[in-house]
Structure 1
Amino acid sequence: MDTAPEQLRRTLHERGLRMTPQRQLVLDAITALAHATPEQICAHVRRITPTVNITTVYRTLELLERLGVVRHTHLGHGAPVYSLDEHEHVHLVCHRCGRVDEVPCEALADLGEALRAAKNFRLDPSHLALSGVCGQCGAKEPRETS
């Protein structure tokens, strides 16, 4: 199985494009950071090449997503986060502390089947973030007494 850089290099070559140092740096940053906003990716890249600007990062992310190498997810009200395309899971976002956990996409299999049966809708849970309260924050809540 190809690594993300090998896959990207081959895909770019097939489309008459080349692997530029900036593209490689952005892909390396996504790999290292796992879930990162464009600003976080840019800051990571700038540690190696200070002249790379945010516009280059956004254009590169757009290209990488169009080529199917990376994907974005909205984890809340802020900027989307990017990860490698093969990094598929559902995100669980605590709206109190901001913690992000992951569960396999299969955790929503029953919901996916229900949506397909009711609306002929095919769910893509890999782009999904569920908001709630994590176990740690939930443990801090006062318990109701009956």
Structure 2
Amino acid sequence: MSNPARTDQTALRSTLHRRGMRMTPQRQLVLDAVREMDHATPEQVCRRIQHTAPTVNITTVYRALDLLEELGLVRHTHLGHGAPTYSVEEHEHVHLVCHRCGGIDEVPCEMLDGLARSLDEQRGFALDASHLALSGTCRDCRETDAGTADPPATADGKEPT
């Protein structure tokens, strides 16, 4: 079985070489941090890297992320307010963001095929769901809410006895 990190490192090195660039330790650290953290902001990536390489600064991280995205190795997504998050470009997916707990889940873009067809047929709009984040309430938060919900009031506004 091959080591995915080693394969990524080799692929990144050869891609950079073809473009006349070189592999730097900082670029590798950024890619490794994004892979390990999944859905991390540039600031989170920088903090992670600074545990082992304290001289790496946020500007270096942003530049590396821009290059890695240009090379198709990472992708950014806006999951709401604030900085974009980065993840390794392994498969196209839609992000489900819980507005209660902040949890992030992924589902295949194909789950939106019906919506994509409707938008195309009715509006002539071609949906690119790969950068999409949907906001809602996750199962765990909904179950917690259901367990703590107040009992419904009666017609006269009083709680049932």
Under a length normalisation based on structure 1, what TM-score does the superposition of the two structures give? 0.90
Q: Is residue 2:137 matched to residue 1:136?
A: no
Alpha-carbon displacement from aligned partner over 1:8-37 (angstroms, at most 9, x marks no partner): 222211110011110010001011111111
1:22 aligns with 2:26: yes
| Percent identity between the two aligned chains | 62
State how 1:97-116 maps to structure 2 within 5 Å. 97-116=101-120
Partner of 1:81: 85
Secondary structure class of the residue paired with 1:97: coil
Q: 1:89-124 deviations in whole A, cap 9, x for unaligned?
A: 111111111111111111111111222223333222
Secondary structure at 2:52's aligned position in 1? coil
Quote the offset at 1:63 in angstroms. 1.0
Judge which range, 100-109 or 53-62, deviates more. 100-109
When the two chains are superposed, the root-mean-square deviation of aligned CA atoms in Å is 2.0
- SS state of the match for residue 103, structure 1? strand
Q: Does 1:38 pair with 2:45? A: no
Specify the code of the residue in structure 2 equivalent to 1:129: A
Match of 2:55 among 51, 66, 70: 51
Following TM superposition, by how much is the alpha carbon of 1:144 offset from its aligned partner in structure 2, in angstroms?
A: 5.5
Of 130, 138, 145, the match for 1:126: 130
TM-score by length of 2: 0.82
Q: 1:49 to 1:115 in 2, by over 3 A?
A: same
**2: CA distance between counterparts of 1:50 and 1:41?**
12
Q: Which runs of 5+ in 2 are unaligned?
A: 155-161
Q: Deviations over 1:107-144 (max 9, x none)?
A: 11111122222333322222111001112222215376
Q: Determine the C-alpha separation between the residues in 2 that align with 1:111 and 1:60.
A: 35
- The number of equivalent residue pairs is 146
Partner of 1:72: 76
5+ residue gaps, structure 1, are none
